[in-house]
Amino acid sequence: MSGKTTSLIAAGSMLTLALFGAASAMLAFYTPAESTMGDIQKIFYLHLPVAINTFNACLVAFIASVGYLWTRKMSWDDLAASAAKVAVVLCTIVLITGMIWGRGAWGKWWTWSPRLTFSLMLWLLYVVYLIIRNSVDSAQRRAVISAVYAIIAFLDVPLVYLSARLMPDIHPQSIELEPKMKLTLLVWFIPVTLAAAGMIVLRYMLARQQAAASEKAQEPTEKPAQIVPGSPMWHSLLTGTNTNTRAEAGK
């Protein structure tokens, strides 16, 4: 990693942290509580941006998988895997914050409504993607199987989005927001999107470094035999005797 990259990562991390702090302060001191649900509705400002960024991460995994099948370059496979890992983390947050919100608003942690079920399915699909990646030894085979699987898994994303609109669901389609609430939501989108993009980039960089490390490990460690005057190889060349191995040369 160059010095410029390190500074960029440090600056991005500090900016994201500062924005998370500012957004939290805004939520505590500026944003009004919703009239029917009260304080628990404030989970919405984290829940929605994380949900949208889960979809974005799944989209990146989908595009990278298509890119891999198209070009057969391992960098696309690394990007798909990185995005899928981040999608699992973000989807976990969506499910946990959603369950807590459900406990406060509906009085129960979980209900098998279409959107919740499809969201859980999305999480499971990408967890299985990671399990598949760990269970195939050959890098090329792993990349092909994972890419095909990621393309199929992405079909669940529109189902999650459309489920609450097309089917009867306890999950709200949209919430009427006051101007202050809209502004808070917009502000929360910034650090969450930065964090999601940052996680994918860092994961991708790690995957490339790991690929470089494994290539380095496969390089031959023994140096080729040098023909030095006086060495067994030198004598064999002069006398025409055969010294195929180091052991034979030493005899």
Partner 1 sequence: MNLQQLTIAAYVIGIGLILAYTGYTLVRLISTTRRNSH
Contact with partner 1 (CB under 8 A) among 209, 225, 227, 246: 209
**Structure-token pair, residue 212:** 């470089």
User: What is the spatial distance between Cα 129 and Cα 31, in angstroms, rounded to a whole number?
Assistant: 39
Contact with partner 1 (CB under 8 A) among 31, 34, 42, 54: 42
Sign of the alpha-carbon torsion through 96, 101, 55, 46 = negative
Cα–chain-centroid distance for residue 154?
Answer: 14
Using CB under 8 A as the criterion, what x/- string covers residues 214-243 for binding partner 1? Answer: --x---------------------------
**Structure-token pair, residue 224:** 């080729």
Minimum CB separation from partner 1 for residue 226, in Å? 25
| Number of neighbours of residue 133 by Cβ within 10 angstroms | 19
Q: What are the residues facing 34 on neighbouring strands?
A: 38
Residues in 48-87 at the binding interface with partner 1, rule: CB under 8 A: 50, 86
Residue 20 or 161: the one with the smaller Cβ distance to partner 1 is: 20
User: What is the spatial distance between Cα 69 and Cα 16, in angstroms, rounded to a whole number?
Assistant: 34
- 206 scored as a contact of partner 1 (CB under 8 A): yes
User: What is the spatial distance between Cα 41 and Cα 46, in angstroms, rounded to a whole number?
Assistant: 10
Segment contacting partner 1 (CB under 8 A): 135-143, 150-158, 175-183, 193-201? 193-201
- 197 scored as a contact of partner 1 (CB under 8 A): no
Q: Which amino acid is it at 117?
A: T
Contact with partner 1 (CB under 8 A) among 67, 104, 159, 170: 104
- 193 scored as a contact of partner 1 (CB under 8 A): no
- 9 scored as a contact of partner 1 (CB under 8 A): yes
User: What is the spatial distance between Cα 195 and Cα 193, in angstroms, rounded to a whole number?
Assistant: 5
Nearest one of 221, 222, 248 to 236, comparing CA atoms: 248
Minimum CB separation from partner 1 for residue 101, in Å? 7
User: What is the spatial distance between Cα 224 and Cα 236, in angstroms, rounded to a whole number?
Assistant: 16
- 15 scored as a contact of partner 1 (CB under 8 A): no
- 14 scored as a contact of partner 1 (CB under 8 A): no
- 20 scored as a contact of partner 1 (CB under 8 A): yes
Nearest one of 84, 77, 88 to 210, comparing CA atoms: 77
Minimum CB separation from partner 1 for residue 51, in Å? 11
Torsion-angle region of 225 (φ positive above 0: left; ψ -120 to 50: alpha; else: beta): beta
Q: Which residues bind partner 1 (CB under 8 A)?
A: 1, 9, 13, 20, 24, 38-40, 42-43, 46-47, 50, 86, 89, 92-93, 96-97, 100-101, 103-104, 192, 195, 198-199, 202-203, 205-206, 209-210, 212-213, 216
